[in-house]
Amino acid sequence: MELESLRTILGVKGIVTDPSLHSAYTVDWTRRYSGVTPAVLLPETTEQVSRVVTWCYENSVALVPQGGNTGMVGGATPVNGELVLSLKRMTEIEEVDDSTGQIVAQAGATLGDIQQAASLLGWKYGVDLSARDSASIGGTIATNAGGSQVLRHGNTREQILGLEAVSGTGDVIGDLRGLSKDNTGYHLPGLLCGSEGTLAVVTRSRLRLVRPPEEELSILLGFKSLNEALGIVEEIRKSLEDVQACEVFFQNGLNLVCEKFGIPPPWDTQLVAYLLIDAGGQLGLEERISKGPLSNSLNASNFVAYGNDSQSRKRLWQYRDLHTEAISAAGIPHKLDVSLPHGKLNEFCNGVREVISEIDNETQLFLFGHAGDGNIHVNILGPDPDNLAVDIAVLKYVASLGGSISAEHGVGRAKAHHLYLNRTATELDIFRKIKAVFDPAGILNPGAIFPR
Ligand SMILES: Cc1cc2nc3c(=O)[nH]c(=O)nc-3n(C[C@H](O)[C@H](O)[C@H](O)COP(=O)(O)OP(=O)(O)OC[C@H]3O[C@@H](n4cnc5c(N)ncnc54)[C@H](O)[C@@H]3O)c2cc1C
């Protein structure tokens, strides 16, 4: 491939052709997907992104946009030898507007950078996930990332006030005006959010900030049955305004986290399920919660731990946050991120074990996730990374219960062949036509969302 033109656009520091420096860009976080690339491209400006994409369009060269490479579905991996377009050098926080509570940043800034810049001016960004220090804001937009606070603030799509992006022809589209009301035709940010680098490269965004709560409190609850735990989730959904997050995990995941990271368990008793509830609001939170609908459960349980300062909250959150890393340290998991309709979580968590063991009864299954959103991360250790039998069985089971085969991680390459489980042929046809308008040469992330 003739790369001199790209070197001219990007400068010497903006293009890495030495394969020994590529592994951070060509192997995904899960280690299940890997590829090779002729070059990693590292633009610093929107103009450079536009010139690079224009060159790729004119020369029919495919590229894979990449942010922090923390995605879980192989969406940022150059599995067919594509160029990697990394936004890693576009990290500028351009503006934090204190009067409107809005932030403008380049796409390569991490979620953590955004959170920190917001908090320096007394604001908070409403999306949080444990890969915050690596995941880029562009990547979270491209995947419409959820995370732990969707219950309170919605997912990434709800935070976007404006977007700038480069389409598959190299054209710069979108705007960053941040108008609260703007019904001038189709909503481009809404469409590009969640498009996983298949329609355009996100280069900058304007995001909504929220006021941080005066006080925050985390509560860990242990249960002898999942049913009991889900009863509390119901209660929370109905009546607790202060709740920001409601996470679930199980005893085997907790044991793995404690073993891998040398952390003492919260209690010596082996239980079944755990809920981590995070609340934030005006002062007097603990008193409000202790008098609210959860009071009976909190008073009656022997398995309740409170975190009311940042250290004790962090201690409780590590049991949940470290699941992904602990499982990854134990092997290369099959990762399925699914959501279930209201009332089906219990049935799914019990049924999925049977579905998997009918295919392979030597697997290890770890379930955890965002219980408040009906979102469960299914992690299966054991089967060969290329053996898709359990994946397909689980996804079909999810679809049979009316759930989504991709709750928040996206479709990427992992689920591209299974999208028909949730989308009709007509819908897939419309998707393809939309893709062709934004990316007529099919150079943007081929193989993601749509199978090659
Ligand atoms: C420990 C851990 C915890 C996680 N927890 C959560 C969670 O709670 N909720 C959740 O939703 N996800 C979670 N994730 C998954 C991941 O962090 C998110 O999907 C995140 O949004 C990916 O951001 P990234 O910058 O790493 O994107 P990448 O992995 O680099 O890319 C992901 C996708 O976005 C595209 N893309 C990236 N940047 C751009 C851009 N600028 N323009 C266009 N397309 C682009 C890529 O082509 C790819 O398709 C977790 C991951 C880890 C490792």
What digits encode the pLDDT tens for the residues 40-93? 999 999 999 999 999 999 999 999 999 999 999 999 999 999 999 999 999 999
Give bridge partners of residue 307 from the DSSP assignment: 218
Residue 239 above 80 pLDDT?
no
pLDDT band at 356 (very low <50, low <70, confident <90, very high): very high
Rounded CA separation 53/65 (Å): 10
Residue owning the nearest CA to atom 53 of ligand 1: 70
Residues 275, 280, 283, 288, Cα dihedral to 10°: -40
Q: Please state the atom number of ligand 1 nearest to the C-alpha of residue 136.
A: 25
**Mean pLDDT, the chain, integer:** 96
Question: Who's near 295: CB < 8 A, 6+ residues apart?
Answer: 289
Rounded CA separation 410/140 (Å): 10
pLDDT above 90 as % of the chain: 91
Asked if residue 301 belongs to a domain, the reply is: yes
pLDDT at 452: 84
| Biggest alpha carbon–alpha carbon distance for the chain | 70
Residue 191 above 80 pLDDT?
yes
pLDDT at 154: 96
Rounded CA separation 210/118 (Å): 9
Asked if residue 441 belongs to a domain, the reply is: no
pLDDT at 49: 98
Q: Do 317 and 335 sit in the same domain of this protein?
A: no
**What's phi and psi for 64, nearest 5 deg?**
-115, 115
Rounded CA separation 393/323 (Å): 23
Residue 317 above 80 pLDDT?
yes
Q: Please state the atom number of ligand 1 nearest to the C-alpha of residue 197.
A: 44
Q: Do 35 and 137 sit in the same domain of this protein?
A: no
Residue owning the nearest CA to atom 1 of ligand 1: 131
Q: Do 316 and 227 sit in the same domain of this protein?
A: yes
Q: Please state the atom number of ligand 1 nearest to the C-alpha of residue 370.
A: 8
> 409 to each of 127, 187, 213, 287, 320, how far by Cα in Å?
14, 22, 27, 36, 17
* Average pLDDT of the residues in 212-228: 95
Is residue 135 lining ligand 1, measured as CB closer than 6 Å? yes
Q: What's 242's domain CATH number?
A: 3.30.70.2190
pLDDT at 238: 77
pLDDT above 70 as % of the chain: 100
3-state SS track over the chain: CCCHHHHHHHCHHHEECCHHHCHHHHECCCCCCECCCCCEECCCCHHHHHHHHHHHHHHCCCEEEECCCCCCCCCCCCCCCCEEEECCCCCCEEEEECCCCEEEEECCCEHHHHHHHHHHCCCECCCCCCCCCCCEHHHHHHCCCCCCCHHHHCCHHHHEEEEEEEECCCCEEEECCCCCCCCCCCCHHHHHCCCCCCCEEEEEEEEECECCCCEEEEEEEEECCHHHHHHHHHHHHHHCCCEEEEEEEEHHHHHHHHHHHCCCCCCCCCCCEEEEEEEEECCCHHHHHHHCCCHHHHHHCCCEEEECCHHHHHHHHHHHHCHHHHHHHHCCCEEEEEECCCCCHHHHHHHHHHHHHHHCCCCEEEEEEEHHHCEEEEEEECCCCCCCHHHHHHHHHHHHCCCECCCCCCCCCCCHHHHHHCCCHHHHHHHHHHHHHHCCCCCECCCCCCCC
Residue owning the nearest CA to atom 5 of ligand 1: 129
Q: Which pLDDT tens digit goes with each residue over 378-402?
A: 999 999 988 999 999 999 999 999 9
Is residue 369 lining ligand 1, measured as CB closer than 6 Å? no
Residue owning the nearest CA to atom 8 of ligand 1: 147
Q: How far is the CA of 107 from the centre of ligand 1 (A)?
A: 12
pLDDT at 236: 84
Q: Do 256 and 306 sit in the same domain of this protein?
A: yes
Which of residues 202 and 288 earns the better pLDDT score?
A: 202
Q: Which pLDDT tens digit goes with each residue over 112-129?
A: 999 999 999 999 999 999
Please identify which residue in the block is written with the tokens 């990434």. 156
Q: How many separate domains does the chain show? A: 4
Q: What is the pTM of this model?
A: 0.96
Rounded CA separation 206/254 (Å): 38
Asked if residue 404 belongs to a domain, the reply is: yes
Residue 289 above 90 pLDDT?
no
pLDDT at 299: 84
Asked if residue 451 belongs to a domain, the reply is: no
Q: Do 109 and 39 sit in the same domain of this protein?
A: no
pLDDT at 290: 83
- Show the domain range for 259: 215-324
Rounded CA separation 244/123 (Å): 16
pLDDT band at 292 (very low <50, low <70, confident <90, very high): confident
Q: How far is the CA of 410 from the centre of ligand 1 (A)?
A: 9
Q: How far is the CA of 74 from the centre of ligand 1 (A)?
A: 10
Q: Do 338 and 318 sit in the same domain of this protein?
A: no
The pick from 26, 44, 56, 129 for probing ligand 1's pocket by mutation, whose C-beta has the most ligand atoms within 8 angstroms, reads 129
Is residue 114 lining ligand 1, measured as CB closer than 6 Å? no
Asked if residue 371 belongs to a domain, the reply is: yes
Q: What's 104's domain CATH number?
A: 3.30.465.10
Q: How far is the CA of 224 from the centre of ligand 1 (A)?
A: 34
The pick from 45, 87, 136 for probing ligand 1's pocket by mutation, whose C-beta has the most ligand atoms within 8 angstroms, reads 136
Q: Do 37 and 56 sit in the same domain of this protein?
A: yes
Is residue 333 lining ligand 1, measured as CB closer than 6 Å? no
The pick from 31, 66, 113, 207 for probing ligand 1's pocket by mutation, whose C-beta has the most ligand atoms within 8 angstroms, reads 66
Q: Do 121 and 79 sit in the same domain of this protein?
A: no
Residue 293 above 90 pLDDT?
no
Last residue of a domain, one of 58, 86, 114: 86
Last residue of a domain, one of 324, 354, 382: 324
Asked if residue 437 belongs to a domain, the reply is: no
pLDDT at 228: 93
Q: Please state the atom number of ligand 1 nearest to the C-alpha of residue 410.
A: 19
Residue 240 above 80 pLDDT?
no
